[in-house]
Each structure stands twice: as C-alpha cells, then as structure tokens.
A and B are shown apart, each in its own frame.
Chain A
Amino acid sequence: MKSQPMTAANASLINCHSCGLLTKVKNKLAIDCPRCSARIHFRKPNSVTRTWAFLIAAYVLYVPANLMPIMIVTQLGDVTPDTILSGVIHLFITGSWPIALVVFVASIFVPILKLLVFTYLVISVQIKSQWRPKDRTRLYRMSEAIGRWSMVDIFVVSLMVALVKVQGIAEIHAGPGAIAFGAVVVLTILAAMTFDPRMVWDGAENTDE
C-alpha cells in the first residue's frame, strides 16, 4: 500500500527554520516568513552541493592542519615545532593522561569522525538510501553537537602564546597549522549547518512509490 507520510512539505507547508511558523505555499518559490521575515524554503537550498563544497575544502585543509606545526616553542634557543599529534603525544608522556585523552578525542578523533559522518550522510541522501533514517538523523545530531569541541586546540594555542613569554628563555609562536586547523573546524561547522537532515527522510519516503 502506498502511504504518504504526514510531513509539512506534503501538506504544502513550509516550516520556518527561525521561528517555527508554518506557512502555506502554492508553488515552490522561496518566500519570506510572514512573522519573522526569514527567507523560508521547503528544504535548505542547494544543500547537497553546499555541504559537499564545505566538506571538500575541509578535507583539503585537513592535510596541512595535521602536518604543519600549530605552535612553535622556543626554549633557551631550542626551536621545537609542535603538530597536533606531537602535542597529544607530549601530553601523554609528561602531563596527565586524562587530559591527553580529552585532547586526542577533541582534536584528532572528532574532526575526522565529523568529516566521515557528513560525507556518508550526503552520499546516503544522494543515493536516496532507505537504510535506518532514524539512526542517520541521530548520527547527524550527534556529530553536529560535538564538532565545536575541536576548537579547543586553537584556544590552547592562543592561551600558550599569551602565557609563555619569558624574555630570552621561553616563547611560543602560533604556527601555520593552526590556521589550517581552525579553518577545518569552521568548515565542518558550516557543512553541518548547510546539511538539511529532512533530506534523509525524503529519500526514505520515495521508496513507498
């Protein structure tokens, strides 16, 4: 039996992403919400293309973000460049391992996980996958929420630069890897923002026909 799920789109209603007001529309042209005047659409415009663009840019920058130093430590004339990974390893050896684990999860595990999850989600939407839409929505929600914690490395660089300024003994400079890493975090946040999770369900709906 063909069943039409009760969605706003099927009832010709657009849900305002900003204030939640439902507006009836006759054609699919974009209009403004009558209440909060946000531009409203049935689905986020060009969601797949835009999400891909942010993801690809993030993948490209992911390489220098991990290979280039995020900070350069000058200690008694000794210059030691620190990459994200070497920073974690150093923390594991000298600092407390719980903190090292937190940094590992936030700056190495989360960014790559978020990139892979969103790549999978966009592809699953493009091939109109019907596989577990509820779990895929959950995956979206989870990776969107944890992405911001990757910024921790950028803040550590900023704090270390500010704190370690002992004239002639120790100084810390931010490295080019930090810019690349910051860009990766920002780009993955933008990818999550442009991805429309409702597409997951649109793809799953089509199969009833």
Chain B
Amino acid sequence: MVPKSYTRRVIDHNLSLIACHECDSLYRVDRIPESSIVKCFRCGAVLMDSKKHTLDTTLALTVTGLILFLISNVYPILSFDYEGQITQTILMTGVIDLYNQDMPLLAGLVFITTMLVPALQLVLLLYIFLPLRLNSIPWKLAAIFRFVKTFTPWSMLEVFMLGILVSIAKLATTATIIPGIALWTFSALIVILALAASRMNPELVWTKVSFKPQK
C-alpha cells in the first residue's frame, strides 16, 4: 500500500508523478500492494517500498541507537593481553593515538566516520522524529532532514566492525584479545542503525513540510 501521507501529497499538490533517481523515467503514482517494492521498469532502481517503518518504529530505533551509542563509547571495546600486560581500549583510543602519532588526517577520518557522523545522525533523527510524534514541527525541519540525508553515507560503523574482526584475526597468534562490553552494544548498534536507515520513510517528514505549490 502506498503510505497515506504519500497519497495526500499527491492530492494536495496535484502531482501524481514521480521520477526515477537513476534514469529519470517518469511514472504515475498508483497504489502498490502491501509488503512489496516497485522497481523502475527501465533501469531497475527501487522507486517505492511499502515496507517502511512508521513514525513510532523510527523513533524507538533512534532512542535505542542513542543509548547503545553512549554505552559503546564509554566502556572498553577490546583489550589486548600480552603475557599479563593488559591494554584496554575504548572506541576513541585509536583516534587519540593516531592524532598523537602526527596523523591528524587519519585520526579525523576515523573520528568522522565512526563517531561524529553516527552521533549527529542519531541526535538529529531524535530532534526530527520526537516533535513529529508529538504533533509539532521542529524548527528548520526540511533543512535539517536534508542535512542528515547528505552525510549519512559517511557513517561506516559496519565497516569498522569488519575492521575489528580483521584485527582480532591479525593479533590472535601474538596475544589474547578480550572483548569488552562495548563490543556487544556496538554490534547491536550496527543492526539498529542499519534498520533505522534502510527502512525509514522519508515521506513521514516531507509531507510535514509546508510549501507553496507551483502555479
């Protein structure tokens, strides 16, 4: 089923057309069956997906994500045990060490992709979806949601997780690696963020943005 909000936009602005983002093909909007996706006839890109989250689900995932993010950053993620000599690390340790090794660019890249962007993403999604849930419109809604969409591709927590697995494999022969609490919350965070990002329905936001329809 086409989300109700989508249908409303079409009626309000007398626009029954959508265009494919990847090949520009024009389509008339019609109802689609429940739990189905509509792909572009010409290039195969996904045009519509009826399996999108509701406002409640998105809000719940965002709050869960924020809690997991905080725990993941405070508690140790991995410890390195070399014959009794234990080095404990948190997520931030690598960034600080790289910075101290005169590698500010590298430290910045890791900081942005694994901390700054995910944090901003979660905080701004809460800023957007909490007021919407309470039937009010947050200040600068359109600009902030657009901003979130622009930087989301730079969130790379799932790639970092692969990095953790590779590091463990690399060090397994020389020392014992002890997983910390943050490793488990971090794993959960990746699932939550992936769900929140892939199943979020942007129409929930765009339909709340008032604008002058074209003459």
Contact = CB atoms under 8 A, between A and B. Distances in A.
B209 interface: yes
B85 interface: yes
Contact of B97 (A21, A94, A161, A197): A161
Interface in A25-71: 34-38
Contacts, number: 206
Nearest to A19: B206
Interface string A187-209: 00100010001101110000000
A103 to B, nearest CB: 6
Contacts of B17: 8, 13, 22
Interface in A4-24: 5-11, 13, 15, 17-24
A24 B101 CA distance: 54
Given A13-B26, A34-B211, A182 B109 contact: yes
A106 B42 contact: no
A161 B82 CA distance: 15
A85 interface: no
A201 B24 contact: yes
Given A133-B43, A178-B103, A162 B94 contact: yes
Contacts of B150: 18
A99 B103 CA distance: 27
A156 B214 contact: no
Interface stretch (B53-61, B165-173, B189-197): B165-173
Contact of A163 (B21, B143, B171, B202): B171
A159 B167 CA distance: 7
A166 interface: yes
B169 A91 contact: yes
Contact of A94 (B103, B143, B173): B173
B87 interface: yes
Interface in A124-174: 133-134, 137-138, 140-141, 148-149, 151-167, 169-170, 173-174
Contacts of B15: 21-22
B162 interface: yes
Given A158-B106, A158-B110, A149 B22 contact: no
Given A161-B101, A201-B42, A152 B24 contact: no
A188 to B, nearest CB: 12
B159 A34 contact: no
Chain A interface size band reads 35 or more
Interface string B5-18: 00000000001011
Max chain B CB contacts within 10 Å: which of A23, A102, A162, A182? A162
B33 interface: no
Nearest to A35: B211
Interface in B122-172: 142-143, 145-146, 149-150, 153, 156, 159-160, 162-167, 169-172
B187 interface: no
A164 B21 contact: no
A36 B97 CA distance: 41
A179 B98 CA distance: 11
A162 B103 contact: no
B93 interface: yes
Contacts of A22: 15, 17-19
Given A151-B156, A163-B80, 7 more contacts: A13-B26, A18-B149, A35-B142, A134-B44, A159-B94, A178-B103, A193-B153
